[in-house]
Copies of this chain bind each other. A is one copy, B any other.
C-alpha cells in the first residue's frame, strides 16, 4: 500500500466564471458541476484507500494551501464532505505556485522525508476518477526512483489557453515518459500543429514527487525561494487550527510558478499522460462543453428553459429564478439574483471585462458574492430600504459572532431555525425558533449557536445608517479586528 498526501491548492480567484465565481467566493468553492463544489470534488477524489488498478493506492489526509479570506470556507466545505485536513496552510499573499508547493513539501519533510505528495489545483474537473488513479499508479514508479512526475492531459482540441508538454515521441498512454520541454500557450496555428503531431500534452499543473525530492529540486534549481519559504514555515503561527505562514518572510519569496522555478530545469522530470476527460473549467464555454450539451448543443440548468436555441448555455443559479432563452445561437447566459451575464460563446475569455466594467462603476457585484461567508457561517442581505435592512444569517453549530455594538442601528432578531444564545449587555438568554429579541442602538451584544444544528435568524436593522462598517468589536473568537 502506497499512501500519498494530497496537496490541494485553492488560494486563487479567477474572474472568468463571473457572476458565479467572484473574488470573495471563487469558482473552486461553488457547485459548478453537480451538487458538490469543485474543491469538495477535488478533495474527495484524492481521498480514501484501496484505490488504483491494484487496489494498493491510498490517500492520507490532505494538506490545503489557501489564503486568509478563504480559510473558513475551506474548513466548512471539507467538514461537509467529511474530510479532515492534515493542515491548512495560510499563504499571507499569493506568490504563485512555486512557494506554495515548496511550503507544502517542507512541511511534509519535517515529519516524513519519504512522504509522497500529489499537488493538484482544486478547481479542475476529472469525471473518471478510476482512470486518474491508474495514471497516479503509473507515476509512482518514477517517483520511487527519485523523479518528479507531472501529469499531462492528452489534448482533445487545439486549445490556445493552456501550456503544453513536449515528449520525445508519440504519447504512450499511461506510461511515464521523459519530457523534452515545456511549451508556452500557443497561437491557434501552433496549437493545431501540436495536436496533429501527437507528441504533445496539455500542462495541467498536477505534480507528484517525494516531498524530499521536491525540496531537493528547489535547493538545486530555485535556492532563492528556499530561504524565504523555510523561514515563513519556521516562524508560522498556529491560529484557530490554521497554520499561518510568516508574512514578512513570505513577502520576500519570488512570485513564480513551479514550472519556471523548478520543473523546466529539473533533469529528473517524467511525464505521465492522462487521456481521461479533464477540464480546468477556464470559462463558461468549458462549463458548457463539460455539462454534456444535447443534440442541439443546448445545456440548461434547473430553472432554465431553452426554446429554439442552438449551442447555448442557460443557467439559473437560484431556486427562485427562472431564465428563458428564445432563438439563441452560441450564447451563454448565467443568471443569479443579483447579477446576470449574457455573452456570445466565443467571448468566454472576455468575461473578465464584465468584472472590470462593474469595478469601474463601483458595483459590489464585481467582487462580492451575495452570500457573505464568515468564520461563523454566512449572511445575505434580503432588502435594503431608506432606513432599514433585512438579513438572513446562518450560524454554524458551536460558532459565535463577535461581541459588538453599533452606533447607528438597532436590530430585531427572529430565530427561524435552531436555537441562539444571545448576549445583550449583561443579559444572556436562549432564543429558539419563532422567538425574537431586540438589540437597542449602542447595546453590546453577541449571537452564538450553542446547538448541534445550524441556526438561522432574520435580522431587521433600523437606523440612519446600516452599513457593515458600523461595528465596534469587543471580543472575537476568530481574532478579527
Which A residues fall within an 8 A CB radius of B? 19, 305, 307-308, 314, 316, 320-329, 331, 333, 335, 337-344, 346-347, 350-351, 353-354, 357-358, 361, 363, 365, 382-388, 390, 392, 410, 412, 414, 416-417, 433-434, 436, 438, 456, 458, 460, 462-463
CB<8 Å pairs between A and B, sample of 20: A305-B358, A320-B338, A322-B339, A322-B340, A324-B340, A324-B341, A326-B341, A326-B353, A327-B350, A329-B344, A333-B333, A337-B337, A382-B382, A385-B416, A386-B417, A412-B436, A414-B460, A416-B460, A436-B436, A458-B458
13 A-B pairs besides A323-B340, A323-B341, A327-B344 with CB distance below 8 A are: A314-B342, A324-B358, A326-B353, A327-B343, A327-B346, A327-B350, A328-B343, A333-B340, A385-B417, A433-B462, A434-B463, A458-B458, A460-B460
Q: Are B308 and A347 in contact (CB under 8 A)?
A: yes
Q: Are A335 and B338 in contact (CB under 8 A)?
A: no
- Please name all residues of chain B whose beta carbon is closer than 8 Å to the beta carbon of A333 when the two chains form the complex: 333, 340, 342
Q: Known contacts A314-B342, A331-B331, A383-B392; is A354 also within 8 Å of B324 by CB? A: yes
Q: Are B417 and A388 in contact (CB under 8 A)?
A: yes
- Please name all residues of chain B whose beta carbon is closer than 8 Å to the beta carbon of A340 when the two chains form the complex: 316, 321-324, 333, 335, 340
Report Cα–Cα, A103/B481, bound state, in Å. Answer: 70
Report Cα–Cα, A332/B314, bound state, in Å. Answer: 15
Could you say how many copies of this chain the assembly holds? 2
Report Cα–Cα, A334/B182, bound state, in Å. Answer: 46
Residue in contact with A342 in the complex, picked from B324, B363, B386, B460, CB distance below 8 Å? B324
Q: Are A327 and B347 in contact (CB under 8 A)?
A: yes
Q: Are B387 and A417 in contact (CB under 8 A)?
A: yes
Q: How far apart are A409's CB and chain B's nearest CB, in angstroms?
A: 9
- Please name all residues of chain B whose beta carbon is closer than 8 Å to the beta carbon of A329 when the two chains form the complex: 344
Q: How far apart are A404's CB and chain B's nearest CB, in angstroms?
A: 19
Q: Are B414 and A412 in contact (CB under 8 A)?
A: yes
Q: How far apart are A133's CB and chain B's nearest CB, in angstroms?
A: 39
Q: How far apart are A355's CB and chain B's nearest CB, in angstroms?
A: 9
Please, which residue of chain B has its CB at the minimum distance from the CB of A344?
Answer: B327
Report Cα–Cα, A393/B410, bound state, in Å. Answer: 20
Q: Are B307 and A325 in contact (CB under 8 A)?
A: no
